[in-house]
Amino acid sequence: MKTAASDRSDALSRRLRLLAAQTHGVGPQQVPFIGTDPELFEAFYREHVEGVQRFVARRVGDRQRAADLTAEIFLAAIDASARFDRGRGTPKAWLYGIARLLVADDRRRRGRERIGEERLRGSALLGEDDAARMDARIDAEAQSRHLYEAMDRLPVGERAVLELVALDELSVTEAATATRIRSATARVRLHRARRRLRAELEASAQPTAPKEES
């Protein structure tokens, strides 16, 4: 049976968690409480919603589906918050891991047809600043359309790490957590992906030799 003193202690702990979240962002210590504390969840949501929206928009070409998936990701985070493992990465990496699974499940439900087309349409939902930052991060001097087409030709594991680091601005360690691989493996995949991508873009930039007349 709770006493008045324990109630006051719980209320103080809650206020301290919320103050820490509002000052420094929702950290690993606060994540387990976002499912039971609406104010703490609101702070978590405001901190990450724009990034999650961009993550979904790059992978889904329909605005309504993108909005629905964004909502589903945060609902799934609420459901999973009590099981958050502080030793397995940052809250951002954990949230993006959830996002990757839900987007993948959505794709499987819809089938794989037109996925390549949706990726290109999804890029149109992004602002010019996002596309410019993405191009700069991978040292590419190509238009975004060619870039997405080239990324689609990368092996799935390499592309996933590249997207999370270059597009979604996760650290290599966070990308490793989100994709459930070791940090060393993520670094290797990122290096290979960048090398393959540059080769793809350089090849596509080469002028096609004119056919000789017979």
Judged against a pLDDT cut of 60, whether residue 190 lies above it is answered with: yes
104 with 151, same domain?
no
Judged against a pLDDT cut of 70, whether residue 132 lies above it is answered with: no
How far apart (Å, rounded) are the C-alpha atoms in residues 157 and 179?
A: 8
- Asked which of 126, 153, 179 is the last residue of a domain, the reply is 126
How far apart (Å, rounded) are the C-alpha atoms in residues 150 and 196?
A: 9
In the numeric block, which tokens belong to residue 91? 């809250």
Q: How many CB atoms lie within 10 A of CB 56?
A: 23
Domain that holds residue 108: 27-126
Q: Note whether 81 and 33 are within 8 A (CB).
A: yes
Judged against a pLDDT cut of 70, whether residue 63 lies above it is answered with: yes
Average pLDDT over residues 89-102: 94
pLDDT confidence band for 150 (50 / 70 / 90):
confident
119 with 132, same domain?
no
Predicted local distance difference test score (pLDDT) of residue 107: 83
Average pLDDT over residues 109-126: 59
How far apart (Å, rounded) are the C-alpha atoms in residues 15 and 125?
A: 38
Predicted local distance difference test score (pLDDT) of residue 116: 57
How many structural domains is the chain composed of? Answer: 2
Q: Which of 66, 174, 177, 74 is closest to 124 using CA atoms?
A: 66
164 with 106, same domain?
no
pLDDT, tens digit (0-9, with 9 covering 90-100), for 165-186: 988 889 999 999 999 999 999 9
pLDDT confidence band for 135 (50 / 70 / 90):
very low
How far apart (Å, rounded) are the C-alpha atoms in residues 55 and 73?
A: 11
- Asked which of 70, 98, 126 is the last residue of a domain, the reply is 126
96 with 175, same domain?
no
Percent of the chain at pLDDT exceeding 70 = 67
In the numeric block, which tokens belong to residue 206? 């080469």
Predicted local distance difference test score (pLDDT) of residue 207: 62
The answer to whether position 212 is within a domain reads no
pTM of the predicted model as reported, rounded to 2 decimal places: 0.69
pLDDT, tens digit (0-9, with 9 covering 90-100), for 23-44: 667 889 889 999 999 988 999 9
Predicted local distance difference test score (pLDDT) of residue 13: 62
- Asked which of 111, 126, 141 is the last residue of a domain, the reply is 126
113 with 177, same domain?
no
